[in-house]
Structure 1
Amino acid sequence: MAAHDPIPVEEFDYEALAPNSSLASNMLAGAFAGIAEHSVMYPVDLMKTRMQVINPSPSAVYTGISNAFTTISRAEGARSLWRGVSSVILGAGPAHAVYFATYEIVKHAMGGSDTTQHHPLAAATSGACATIASDALMNPFDVIKQRMQVHGSVYPTIGACARGVFRTEGLRAFYISYPTTLTMTIPFTALQFMAYESLSKVLNPPRTYDPLTHCVAGGLAGGFAAGLTTPLDVIKTLLQTRGTTNDVAIRNAKGLWEGAAIIRARNGYSGFWRGFGPRVITAMPSTAICWSAYEMAKSYFNRDRI
């Protein structure tokens, strides 16, 4: 090579794992994305939980998102919209680190990193594997979060909530909703990842780093997946908040089918769609933020390691 010739730079596909990319980089990017997603949209998530609770107290009956926001802010103070957010932040970091690391590893193993082709099956499978791994870490934090979100919650801190739930209901309470959670999150994540990969392929064929594309594709994919899986989310909320009610049937509900039967008996089929609006409204910006933050962090780490 002549002395004046430029030194060649090894290039790699942005969407593929870089030749010197590390697992730590993907985990850091995922943790950053998870914390950003959950913390920004937390108040809307709290309103969704309130609207999904069966047999709430008369002062906690809401007719819509704006009504819920106004009622909660006036009656309990604006700070109440953030009750339990520390549980989400504490759990979202490690859970999303595992989530996106698993996603990248499985997608790469299935050939999904080849951006010249469309790989919906690889995207769906990697998403399903990712949520199985991450939900095992996140489920206890999600239980604590929802116990603190309900109207009249007596827990001042996440530590007090964790101790109270463990003392009165045992360790099983933190995982009673795990099978139902997986029943919801596996199709949700599979649909979301498949939609995201498909939309990204259409909106950004070169698959270069493009913040606007990642934001739009993430938001549309999240809203689509959230809308279809709302009934399962309603059942999950019933199981995770069962210890806060005096309703004997709800307190004794042990799983997906019992929870579904209670909802059907009390509210009919329309009961499975309670909180649909807040769930979609939460999911669209949440997944837009999550994918934007993840792709930005991944781009930064990969560029930094060339």
Structure 2
Amino acid sequence: MASEDVKTSESAVTTIVNLAEEAKLAREGVKAPSHAILSICKSLVAGGVAGGVSRTAVAPLERLKILLQVQNPHNIKYNGTIQGLKYIWRTEGFRGLFKGNGTNCARIVPNSAVKFFSYEQASKGILSLYQQQTGNEDAQLTPLLRLGAGACAGIIAMSATYPMDMVRGRLTVQTDKSPYQYRGMFHALSTVLRQEGPRALYKGWLPSVIGVVPYVGLNFAVYESLKDWLVKARPFGLVEDSELSVTTRLACGAAAGTIGQTVAYPLDVIRRRMQMVGWKDAASIVTGDGRSKAPLEYNGMIDTFRKTVRHEGFGALYKGLVPNSVKVVPSIAIAFVTYEMVKDVLGVEIRISD
């Protein structure tokens, strides 16, 4: 009997220990996913806020850039940054400067959120593989690996939000004199689906994919590499205690944006023109008088590139570059710095460079 009592006691103790372990694991299992989900949400919020703030700050230049890209060469209305902004102000007023910005933000907020989050995840995965291959646990991402991570992030974010970018372009181009008016993003989406089919929502997707690789990739690679170099080299006393000032980070973002958009800009022009194909009112929207020649019809990315260069010259691939450059310098800089600052406020310990 004593032996049975001992066995019973041991069994009871074992059961209690097992239950305690299971409870502990359960608590940890719940806590870990909750913490991870909260961290993901904070990262997405920071990326979304960064995109919305940066894009709204440069909305007038964004609209002018698109108008310059798609205007009919036989009836020039927008001739340069200052003249173009004055013309929009005179003909459409203050609201005209921000036309399409609501739709733009509806696209850029999720796009920016996904882009920054995807970059963080891609960076972690690439760094882990790189450390395994080199056998060096202290290895850091090289500029080329950062370029690859940025390219992955750009492709994922752009593909996820491309239909909104497509209708945003059309909303931005239309004016009060347009024969047909899209009343908003959802009306534009439903109208394009009904009149042109679902494939129309992805017109210009291929040049966007090709263009996003150097654009977003270079943005992240240049920004982080510049920051890394400044922290290590500490030139001109720009760095104190391994921390860059807001002004210095803005300068890094401006440099990154300028390099990235200059390389990828021709593909952005091609993409925008392809998005207008099939829109029966595009000619009237671009010319405004109904008397100019109809715009060219394009059949694919190569055909768009060839016809643009043949009919308008190589310089047409850089139409709107000046207002775009003025826009990109503050926009990318604000986006990067806002993202890091919002993450600091939300208490997320890891920044994109870590």
1:230 partnered with 2:284: no
Given that residues 48 and 112 in structure 2 are in contact (C-alpha distance below 8 angstroms), is that contact kept between their aligned partners in structure 1? yes
Q: Percent identity?
A: 27
User: Residue in 1 aligned with 2:332?
Assistant: 287
1:188 partnered with 2:205: no
Partner SS state of residue 203, structure 2: coil
Superposed structure 1 runs of 4+ greater than 4 Å apart: 112-118, 246-249
Deviation at 1:283, TM superposition (A): 1.0
1:68 partnered with 2:88: no
Deviation at 1:164, TM superposition (A): 2.2
| CA–CA distance in structure 2, aligned partners of residues 82 and 263 of structure 1 | 28
| CA–CA distance in structure 1, aligned partners of residues 242 and 263 of structure 2 | 27
Q: Which amino acid aligns with 1:61?
A: K
Partner SS state of residue 243, structure 2: coil
Deviation at 1:69, TM superposition (A): 0.4
| CA–CA distance in structure 2, aligned partners of residues 204 and 85 of structure 1 | 36
| CA–CA distance in structure 1, aligned partners of residues 122 and 295 of structure 2 | 41
User: Residue in 1 aligned with 2:8?
Assistant: none
* Count of matched residue pairs: 285
| CA–CA distance in structure 2, aligned partners of residues 281 and 148 of structure 1 | 22
Deviation at 1:158, TM superposition (A): 2.0
Task: Please identify the structure whose Cα radius of gyration is greater.
Answer: 2
Query: Unaligned 5+ residue runs, structure 2?
Result: 1-34, 132-136, 233-240, 284-292
Given that residues 249 and 262 in structure 1 are in contact (C-alpha distance below 8 angstroms), is that contact kept between their aligned partners in structure 2? no
| CA–CA distance in structure 2, aligned partners of residues 45 and 284 of structure 1 | 12
Given that residues 53 and 237 in structure 1 are in contact (C-alpha distance below 8 angstroms), is that contact kept between their aligned partners in structure 2? yes
1:89 partnered with 2:85: no
Given that residues 56 and 105 in structure 2 are in contact (C-alpha distance below 8 angstroms), is that contact kept between their aligned partners in structure 1? yes
Q: Which amino acid aligns with 1:219?
A: A
> What does residue range 65-214 of structure 1 map to in structure 2 within 5 Å?
65-111=81-127, 117=140, 119-152=142-175, 153=178, 154-205=181-232, 208=243, 210-214=245-249
Given that residues 103 and 164 in structure 2 are in contact (C-alpha distance below 8 angstroms), is that contact kept between their aligned partners in structure 1? yes
| CA–CA distance in structure 1, aligned partners of residues 242 and 329 of structure 2 | 21
Q: Which amino acid aligns with 1:245?
A: A
Match 1:268 to one of 290, 313, 335: 313
Given that residues 203 and 213 in structure 1 are in contact (C-alpha distance below 8 angstroms), is that contact kept between their aligned partners in structure 2? no
User: Residue in 2 aligned with 1:215?
Assistant: 250
Deviation at 1:124, TM superposition (A): 0.6
Deviation at 1:57, TM superposition (A): 7.4
Output the TM-score relative to the length of structure 1: 0.84
Deviation at 1:186, TM superposition (A): 1.2
Deviation at 1:51, TM superposition (A): 0.6
- Please say which of residues 27-36 and 159-168 is displaced more in the overlay: 159-168
Deviation at 1:117, TM superposition (A): 4.5
Output the TM-score relative to the length of structure 2: 0.74
User: Residue in 2 aligned with 1:34?
Assistant: 51
User: Residue in 1 aligned with 2:12?
Assistant: none
| CA–CA distance in structure 2, aligned partners of residues 56 and 81 of structure 1 | 22
| Change in 2 beyond 3 A, CA 1:101/1:70 | same
User: Residue in 2 aligned with 1:245?
Assistant: 282
| CA–CA distance in structure 1, aligned partners of residues 274 and 152 of structure 2 | 23
Given that residues 209 and 299 in structure 1 are in contact (C-alpha distance below 8 angstroms), is that contact kept between their aligned partners in structure 2? no
Over aligned residue pairs, what C-alpha RMSD do you find?
2.6
| CA–CA distance in structure 1, aligned partners of residues 148 and 311 of structure 2 | 36
Q: Which amino acid aligns with 1:33?
A: A
